[in-house]
Chains A and B, each alone.
Chain A
Amino acid sequence: MTTRERVPAVEGWFTTSEPYTLIGGKCPTCGTYVFPPRSGACPNPGCDATELEPTPLSRRGRIWSYTENHYAPPPPFVAPDPFEPYALAAVELEEEGLVILGQVAKGIMAADLRIGMAVEVDLQVLCTDADGQETWIWTWAPVADEEEGA
């Protein structure tokens, strides 16, 4: 059996080999972060920089809020048939001061989540085309919380 290449659903937003990380942009002048990565202008209105440098973002963050969708979204989402509910989480990255939305790792639902929960970037298959080619997406997956358990 051969292992297919992991084709990212979007180019340049995350790594497809471990350690999985989201890739944002960082302003070389003022240090501000962006996600998704972009070019052309720093979004800080007080900064004149015209380019942002690709930069790996913190792998871990905390859930700012979450939901669980029970109806299939319309295209361009590729919904499995039969449709299975899935969770989304908006996750706060402390160092970058960003909140980033992502699907939650398959099988983990709203009842398993809570605001403030520690999560980290993981990868899963987003969809598979007619030739069996898989495209991959980042997810948020719960992890043991180092600040808890005391």
Chain B
Amino acid sequence: MSSDRDLVVLGAGMHPWGKWGRNFVEYGLVAAREALADADVAWRDIEFVAGADTIRNGYPGFVSGSTFSQALGWTGAQISSSYAACASGAQALQSARAQLLAGFGEVAMVIGADTTPKGFFAPVGGERKEDPDWQRFHLLGATNPSFFALNARRRIDVFGDTTDDFAMVKVKNSQAGAANPYARFRKEFSLEDFASSPIVSDPLRLLDVCATSDGAAALIICTPEYARRKLGSLEGTVRIKAVANTTPTYPQIRLELPDIATDSQAVVGPPASGFKDSIARNAYEQAGLGPEDLSCAEVYDLSTALELDWYENLGLCAEGEGAKLVRDGTTALGGRVPVNPSGGLSSFGEAIPAQAIAQICELTWQLQGRRPGHQVEGATVGLAINQGLFGHGSCTIVAT
């Protein structure tokens, strides 16, 4: 089923993830050229450039739409630049989508790239006492893995998960990532590897937590009319069925990055569904699809335990039953609904503005049957979900 509002993913491109130490623009150019070639569209024909921003690369990073436009050669295209932490790529996609659906153009590029330092992500520099991100580091030393660990500990205590369940997520994702030429880590890990992996934030070990990486991803999206003219028909094309960028509903009662405290439940009771559940629900409603329709999903496995949360938030199982799905192979390649067939962030590492776009690249190629070694056979519907700091939930659904 298609609707006039379903844009087409005409092309996708990436720069391999890793620690290359070069300028982020270089990575973006590689991804952009690969996406243009995949779409068979000339750079001059792109009418709108939606950049996903990085805060780590100075002004060029803050204005990535223009940075990549200049690097590829000014063409007079319309632009936007979006920052939403980990959801930046999804915000950029939404910006391009809105532009095209409003009729202000037919074909757009969505692009993001990053260069990251080694180790923990740190807040923007300077003594910025009013910034919750600065506060949590200075006052508490509450790194990102600290928050992942609070969540993981809660799963152990409330749901009976074990650290082996968490490790199995990494084992599964590393098997998929080993076959992915864009992935940074191509090694298959075993449960035994965890024993020698040092604790970062108890109960999570180094192998439970995703690394920081350099990387880039780009998409060429267009209206159905443009695709029909170019391809002769829409047969077999990958369509964007939903892009939901969702905020929490008050009160937000889960402790979420970067906040030191939750909202109060003293006066207004908790919402009918939690924030992470609502991100997926909004996308399902837009697409007219449900969890039973998914062929595969790309989720933010910033920690192994967090991937189990997403199973529940996507409606693949009831709350507390996520570990069963990794134990019984449901979410592995060959299972009923493979999760992170790309290898996930555990195989890629975080390249913040690129990763939500990279999720869509992976799903596009999966739906086109172009992932030898980690292909989800017969994939027709894919979902990508993530959560950017400060309340940016994002979910995209694509389908053939």
Do the two chains belong together in a single complex? yes
Name A residues whose Cβ lies closer than 8 Å to a Cβ of B. Answer: 9-10, 27, 30-36, 43-46, 64-79, 86, 88, 90, 95-103, 110, 114-115, 126, 137
**Minimum CB distance partner of A83 in chain B:** B141
C-alpha gap A64/B150 in the complex (Å) = 9
A67→B202 contact, CB < 8 A: yes
B250→A43 contact, CB < 8 A: yes
Min CB gap B272→A, angstroms: 15
C-alpha gap A60/B11 in the complex (Å) = 56
Let me know if B120 is at the binding interface, CB within 8 A. yes
Pick from A36, A43, A70: contact of B198, CB under 8 Å: A70
What are the residues of chain B within 8 A of A64 when measuring CB–CB?
150, 154, 255
Pick from A9, A27, A71, A96: contact of B139, CB under 8 Å: A9
What are the residues of chain A within 8 A of B140 when measuring CB–CB?
77, 88, 101-103, 137
- Cβ contacts B129-164/A at 8 Å (1 or 0 each): 100001111111111011001110110011000000
B182-196 at interface with A (beta carbon < 8 Å): none
B253→A99 contact, CB < 8 A: yes
Min CB gap A103→B, angstroms: 6
Given contacts A67-B153, A68-B202, A99-B255, contact A9 B138 (CB under 8 A): yes
A31→B261 contact, CB < 8 A: no
Pick from A73, A110, A114, A115: contact of B137, CB under 8 Å: A73
Given contacts A68-B201, A88-B146, contact A31 B137 (CB under 8 A): no
B154→A98 contact, CB < 8 A: no
Let me know if B2 is at the binding interface, CB within 8 A. no
A65→B151 contact, CB < 8 A: yes
C-alpha gap A35/B134 in the complex (Å) = 16
A10→B198 contact, CB < 8 A: no
A137→B139 contact, CB < 8 A: yes
Let me know if B23 is at the binding interface, CB within 8 A. no
B261→A77 contact, CB < 8 A: no
Pick from A32, A33, A103: contact of B141, CB under 8 Å: A103
Let me know if B199 is at the binding interface, CB within 8 A. yes
Chain B's interface size range is 35 or more
Let me know if B235 is at the binding interface, CB within 8 A. no
**Minimum CB distance partner of B158 in chain A:** A115
C-alpha gap A97/B296 in the complex (Å) = 38
Name B residues whose Cβ lies closer than 8 Å to a Cβ of A. Answer: 119-120, 122-123, 127, 129, 134-143, 145-146, 149-151, 153-154, 157-158, 198-204, 250-251, 253, 255, 260-268
C-alpha gap A103/B265 in the complex (Å) = 23
C-alpha gap A40/B158 in the complex (Å) = 37
Q: How many residue pairs at the A-B interface have CB separations less than 8 Å?
A: 141
What are the residues of chain A within 8 A of B268 when measuring CB–CB?
32, 44, 46
**Minimum CB distance partner of A72 in chain B:** B141
> Which interface residue of A34, A46, A65, A114 has the most chain B CB atoms within 10 A?
A65
Q: List the 5 shortest-distance A-B pairs measured between CB atoms, nearest first.
A: A97-B265, A67-B149, A97-B266, A74-B122, A76-B138
What are the residues of chain B within 8 A of A137 when measuring CB–CB?
139-140
B153→A44 contact, CB < 8 A: no
C-alpha gap A32/B139 in the complex (Å) = 25
**Minimum CB distance partner of A8 in chain B:** B139
B120→A30 contact, CB < 8 A: no
A96→B264 contact, CB < 8 A: yes
Given contacts A67-B149, A69-B141, contact A99 B266 (CB under 8 A): no
A33→B266 contact, CB < 8 A: yes
Min CB gap A77→B, angstroms: 4
B199→A70 contact, CB < 8 A: yes
B141→A86 contact, CB < 8 A: yes
Other than the known A99-B261, A114-B157, what 11 A-B pairs have Cβ atoms closer than 8 Å? A31-B266, A31-B267, A32-B268, A64-B154, A64-B255, A69-B200, A70-B199, A73-B141, A88-B146, A96-B264, A98-B263
B250→A44 contact, CB < 8 A: yes
Min CB gap A42→B, angstroms: 10
Min CB gap B90→A, angstroms: 24
A101→B260 contact, CB < 8 A: yes
> Which interface residue of B122, B203, B264, B267 has the most chain A CB atoms within 10 A?
B264
**Minimum CB distance partner of A139 in chain B:** B140
Given contacts A10-B139, A69-B141, A86-B141, contact A115 B267 (CB under 8 A): no
A77→B137 contact, CB < 8 A: yes
C-alpha gap A34/B259 in the complex (Å) = 12
B255→A101 contact, CB < 8 A: yes
Min CB gap B153→A, angstroms: 5
Min CB gap A148→B, angstroms: 17
